[in-house]
Amino acid sequence: MEGLQNPRSIRQLNSRIVACRLCPRLVKHREAVAAAPPRRYLGQRYWARPLPGFGDPRARLLLVGLAPAAHGGNRTGRMFTGDRSGDWLFDALHHAGFANRPTSEHRDDGLSLADAYITAAVHCAPPFNKPTLSEIGRCEPYLLTELRLLTEVRVVVGLGRIGWQAYLRGRQALGAPRERPAPKFGHGAVTRFADGMTLIATYHPSQQNTFTGKLTRPMLRGIFETARRLLDRAGSEPSRSDRPAGAGVPPPSASARGAARRA
């Protein structure tokens, strides 16, 4: 596990993610949609591989989403880029000062994140945006490794129930005790853990939620305004890099260390 504190190890992890072919159904789907794109994307070269995490390796804010969109991230090669979900998400991040621009169109558009990092429970675009439990399980070691590498994280935003649950499972896999009572998902729900971490829940900025008004722009902006206030309040606390484990969890068990190595 040498070099886990070095931001370069995030790049190494992302290289391994991009090369992953562990889920045959996801490999087939991501490549099939690239081979037969809709008319509006004809002639574009699709990424058609797993998407790595994106953002600041020293981030204090971690976002955990569901999975790339077939014609969004799977096309552009960057999380939440090239689709309506990304339009909403980066508007909110920019509004709260975590992104240098409010839109994300392609990998070379100049977008950068400050103090924020985006990942997902699953790194490949799944059919109908619904990964199976086994696919989520095969991708989980990547998230466990990210939680250990991102040593400065203090606030986590779960983008949708699956991203929110993925973080909770990741904490437990790395040795954190099960919360009693169990946290309940709901837009704007804030869970504060004894180790100093805070988890914020939000509805996913999917078209299903935004078109129906279940999620509005002020609602999503409010999530990241809350994250900003929490981080500003925590600014005088000791750096999390001074602690032995990443992302606010205790040192992992031997089985968790093995899972991280397999990622």
pLDDT of residue 179: 86
Q: Residue 243: pLDDT band by 50, 70, 90 thresholds?
A: very low
Whether the pLDDT of residue 247 is over 60: the answer is no
**Residue-number span of the structural domain to which 98 is assigned:** 8-262
Q: Are strands 198-202 and 155-159 parallel, antiparallel or unpaired?
A: parallel
Residue 3 lies in a domain: no
pLDDT digits (tens, 9 = 90+) for 39-61: 999 999 999 999 999 999 999 99
pLDDT of residue 249: 52
Residue 1 lies in a domain: no
- Tell me the CATH number at 57: 3.40.470.10
Chain position carrying tokens 């180790």: 195
Residue 197 CA to residue 195 CA, distance in Å, equals: 6
Residue 78 lies in a domain: yes
Residue 180 gets the label, from left (phi > 0), alpha (psi -120 to 50) or beta, of beta
Average pLDDT, rounded, for the chain: 88
Residue 125 lies in a domain: yes
pLDDT of residue 246: 53
Task: Quote the percentage of the chain above a pLDDT of 90.
Answer: 80
183-187 long-range CB contacts below 8 Å, 24 or more apart? Answer: 185/158, 185/161, 187/215, 187/219, 187/223
Length of the chain: 263
Residue 92 lies in a domain: yes
Residue 37 CA to residue 69 CA, distance in Å, equals: 13
pLDDT digits (tens, 9 = 90+) for 192-231: 999 999 999 999 999 999 999 999 999 999 999 999 999 9
pLDDT of residue 226: 98
CA 197 remoteness from chain centre: 16
Q: Are strands 61-65 and 190-192 parallel, antiparallel or unpaired?
A: unpaired
Q: Residue 235: pLDDT band by 50, 70, 90 thresholds?
A: confident
Residue 82 lies in a domain: yes
pLDDT of residue 234: 82
Residue 2 lies in a domain: no
pLDDT digits (tens, 9 = 90+) for 56-110: 999 999 999 999 999 999 999 999 999 999 999 999 999 999 999 999 989 889 9
Number of domains in the chain: 1
Mean pLDDT (whole number) for 230-259:
54
Residue 245 lies in a domain: yes
How many other β-carbons are positioned within 10 Å of the β-carbon of residue 172? 14
